[in-house]
Amino acid sequence: MNSFQRIKSFAAGIFYLLVALALAVVPHGSLDYIYWIISFMMLIYGTRLLWYYFSMARHMVGGKIVLYQAIIVLDVALFTMTIATMEDYIVLIYLLSIYAFSGAIDILRAFEAKKNDSPVWKKKIIIGFIKIGFAILMVVLAIIFRNTDILVYGFAVSLASTAVLKIYDALRETAIVYIQ
Amino acid sequence: MNSDFHYYATYCAAILAGYSHGEAQDIAYSDQLVDFCTRTLLIKLKAPSSAATTQLQLELMDARTDRIGLQDITRIWSSFHFLPGDLQATPPKRCSKRYKWKYRLICKPNGELLEPTVNLAKDKSLQAVGLAMHVLADTWAHQNFAGTPSLVINNTNQYFFELFEDGDGYREKKISFRHSVSAPDDLENSIYTNSLYTNSEKSIMNLGHGRAGHLPDFSFIRYKYLPAWGNYEEIIKDNPSDYWHAFTQMVYAMKYLRGGIESFETDRYDTEAVEPYREKIEGIIKKRQPDAADDWKALGKELSGSEPEPFDIERYQDEYTNAAENEKDGTFIGRFILAALAQKSMVTNRIYRSGSKLAGYSIDYQTKGFRGLEDFRRLIQNNGGGKQS
C-alpha cells in the first residue's frame, strides 16, 4: 500500500465512523442519506469499470470479467436507488444483505487463498462467517423484538467495524509479493 | 534473469568476446549492478537519483501510481529490464490510444531499441558495456511483458503449463502459483510464487512479469501460457533456447563493442566462438536449478584461467563517495551512472517520439536548451549536448 492508498483508506475509515455515529445518534434521519451516498458511489465505480472495459480490458484475455463486474455494480447501484421509497426495515435488510454478501465474498477469497497456500485464509474465513452471522442475527433480533432500530444499530456497528479495519489497514505495515 | 546469468554468464561471454579477466569482471559487475542501483542506494551515495536502474520492493510499495509516478516507474523498467520491441506496433484489433501505447511497450528481443542500446556503449566505458548487456539479455528473458504497470498487458491467468522433454515431444504439467512472500519456488512440484491478482490497471502487482512469477528468470524452464494481450493465442516460452540466444548475442555484441566487428546488426549471434563450449553451456542452461552461479563461475574459470570474484555491492562505493565532486564521473560508479542516464534518456526519448507520454517527456537540448530533471545535466556535460529526458 503506497502513501496515497494509506491516506485514502484512513479517510474512508474516518468517513465510515462518522456515518456510523450519525446512525447511532439519529437512527432514522440519517438513513435517507446513506443509501443515496452508497448508490452514488457504486454508480461512479460501475461507470469507471465500464469505461475501463471498453477502452482497455476488452482486449485482455479474460477481460469480460471487468464487464460483468461493471454491470453488476451498476445494477446494484440502480437497485439501491429504487428502494429509497420503501419502508425503512426493507432498506435496512437490504443493506445488511449487502454486508452479508461481502462476508460471502470473504469466504470465497479465503478458499482461493487456501488454494494458494496463503496463511491469511483462516483470518478471511473467520471474518466472512462473522459478517454473515452478524447480519442474520440482526434480522432475527429485529423480528423477535419487532423493533427496526435494532437493524439501524446493527448496520451502524457493521459500518464501524469496517471503519476500524480500514484505519487498521492504513496504519499497519504491509508485505507484498513482487517479482523483480 | 538472475545474478547467475547477469554476472557469471556475462563474464563468460565477455571472455569469449576477447576481453581480459579484469575487463570481463568490470563488465559483469556493471551488468549485475543494474539490478541493485536503486534510488535508495543512490541517495546513500549522494549520487543523482534519476540514474536509478531498478526499484526496491519497498520503493515500489511507496511509489505513487499517478501519472508522474507511473512515468518514473516506466522509465526505469522499460529502459533497463523490458526494452520495448516495437514502438510502432499496431494491436491486432481496433483499440483506444491508451491501450495502444501500453501494447507498444511490450518487450521483444531484436527490437528497434536494441541497436541504439548497444551503440550507446560503443567507445564508452566498460560500465556502459555491462549495462547494455543487461538490457540485451533481459530482452530475451522478459519478452512478452511490458515495463509499465498494466493489467491488460501483463496479466496472466490459470492457463500455465510446464513442458518437460519426453521423447520427441513434451509432457505437460500444470503450474500452480502462490503468493507467499517467504516460500521459495518449489521446482519439484511446479509450484511458483507470483504477484497477487488485482483488477487495478495501474497496480504495481501488474508490472513486468510479476504475474508469471520467476519463470522468465529460470534458464531451464519451458512453459506455455496465455499472455493478456495475446487474443487467446498461447505462447510457448522456451527459456533454454532464449538464454542460448541471449548468450551468443552478447558475445557478438561485445565483439562489436571491442572493435572486432564493423557494425552491430540485430538477430545475429556468435555461435562460432561459443561452439567449443556449446555442450557445457547448454548443460548449465538446461540444468534444473534455481541458481546456476556455481556452474557459470566454473566455466568462467575454465575460460579465463582466473576465478571471477563474487559480486559485492559495496566494492566501489567508497571510491565514489570519497572522490572530489569533479572526479566522481571518472569513478566506477560514476561511469555506470553516466551510462544509466544515457540509456534512460535514449529510451524515454524514443518512447516520447513515438507519441506516447507513458515514460514522460523528452526534449531536444540543442533546440530547446536544458529543461527537466537536473540530474541529466551531467549527461549533457559529458556528451557536449544532445537529448535529455
**All structural domains of chain B with their residue ranges:** 3-142+241-388, 152-239
Residues of chain A found within 8 Å of residue B177, distances taken between Cβ atoms: 116
Residue of B341, B352, B359 whose CA lies nearest to B120: B341
Mean pLDDT of A49-58: 95
Spatial contact of B128 and B121, defined as CB atoms under 8 Å apart: yes
Query: Which B residues, 19 through 78, put their C-beta within 8 Å of a C-beta on chain A?
Result: 35, 54, 57, 60-66
Query: How close is the nearest chain B Cα to the Cα of A115, in Å?
Result: 8
pLDDT at B75: 95
Mean pLDDT of chain B: 92
Q: Where are the alpha helices (DSSP H) in B323-364?
A: 332-353
Tens of pLDDT, residue by residue over A121-137, are: 788 889 899 989 988 88
d(CA B198, CA B215): 20
Tens of pLDDT, residue by residue over B230-281, are: 999 999 999 999 999 999 999 999 999 999 999 999 999 999 999 999 999 9
d(CA B48, CA B380): 14
pLDDT at A1: 56
Which of B64, B95, B181 has the CB atom closest to A177's CB atom? Answer: B181
d(CA B342, CA B297): 30
Q: What is the pTM of this model?
A: 0.83
d(CA A49, CA B215): 31
> Is B183 in contact with A117 (Cβ distance < 8 A)?
yes
> Is B181 in contact with A175 (Cβ distance < 8 A)?
yes
Question: Which grid cell is A160?
Answer: 464501524
Query: Which B residues, 194 through 253, put their C-beta within 8 Å of a C-beta on chain A?
Result: 194-196, 199, 201, 204-205, 207-210, 212-214, 226-232
Chain B nearest-CA residue for A58:
B152
Question: Which grid cell is A121?
Answer: 485464509
Spatial contact of B161 and B224, defined as CB atoms under 8 Å apart: yes
Q: What percent of chain A has pLDDT over 70?
A: 88
Residues of chain B found within 8 Å of residue A118, distances taken between Cβ atoms: 178-180
Residues of chain B found within 8 Å of residue A179, distances taken between Cβ atoms: 193-195, 208-210, 212-214
Which of B179, B195, B226 has the CB atom closest to A118's CB atom? Answer: B179
Spatial contact of B376 and B154, defined as CB atoms under 8 Å apart: no
pLDDT at B195: 85
Question: Which grid cell is B363?
Answer: 526534449
Tens of pLDDT, residue by residue over B145-187, are: 999 999 999 999 989 999 998 888 899 999 988 876 667 888 8
Residue whose C-alpha cell reads 520492493 in the numeric block: B57
d(CA A166, CA B172): 43
Q: How confident is the model at residue A176 (pLDDT cuts 50, 70, 90)?
A: very low
pLDDT at A118: 60
State yes or no: pLDDT of B141 exceeds 50: yes
> Is A178 in contact with B210 (Cβ distance < 8 A)?
yes
pLDDT at B80: 98
Residue of B190, B220, B94, B83 whose CA lies nearest to B139: B83
Q: What percent of chain B has pLDDT over 90?
A: 76
B198 vs A2, more confident: B198
pLDDT at B181: 65
pLDDT at B79: 97
Q: Which sign, positive or negative, has the C-alpha torsion B249, B253, B259, B264?
A: positive
Tens of pLDDT, residue by residue over A86-118, are: 777 787 788 788 888 888 988 887 887 676 556
pLDDT at A180: 38
Spatial contact of B3 and B54, defined as CB atoms under 8 Å apart: no
Mean pLDDT of B11-34: 97
Query: Which B residues, 91 through 150, put their C-beta within 8 Å of a C-beta on chain A?
Result: 91, 93, 95-96, 98-99, 102
pLDDT at A178: 40
> Is A176 in contact with B63 (Cβ distance < 8 A)?
no
Residues of chain A found within 8 Å of residue B62, distances taken between Cβ atoms: 2-3
Residues of chain B found within 8 Å of residue A51, distances taken between Cβ atoms: none
Chain A nearest-CA residue for B209:
A179
Q: What percent of chain B has pLDDT over 70?
A: 96
Query: How close is the nearest chain B Cα to the Cα of A65, in Å?
Result: 10
> Is A179 in contact with B91 (Cβ distance < 8 A)?
no
State yes or no: pLDDT of A119 exceeds 70: no
Spatial contact of B360 and B389, defined as CB atoms under 8 Å apart: yes
Spatial contact of B148 and B70, defined as CB atoms under 8 Å apart: yes
State yes or no: pLDDT of B301 exceeds 50: yes
> Is A177 in contact with B209 (Cβ distance < 8 A)?
no
Tens of pLDDT, residue by residue over B347-383, are: 999 999 999 999 988 877 767 777 677 777 777 777 6
Q: Which of the residue ranges A145-154, B192-201, B329-338 would you say has the lowest mean pLDDT?
A: A145-154
> Is A61 in contact with B177 (Cβ distance < 8 A)?
no
Residues of chain A found within 8 Å of residue B54, distances taken between Cβ atoms: 180
For B342, how many CA atoms within 13 A lie in the half-sphere containing its CB? 29
Torsion of CA B53, B27, B8, B243, to 10 degrees: 70
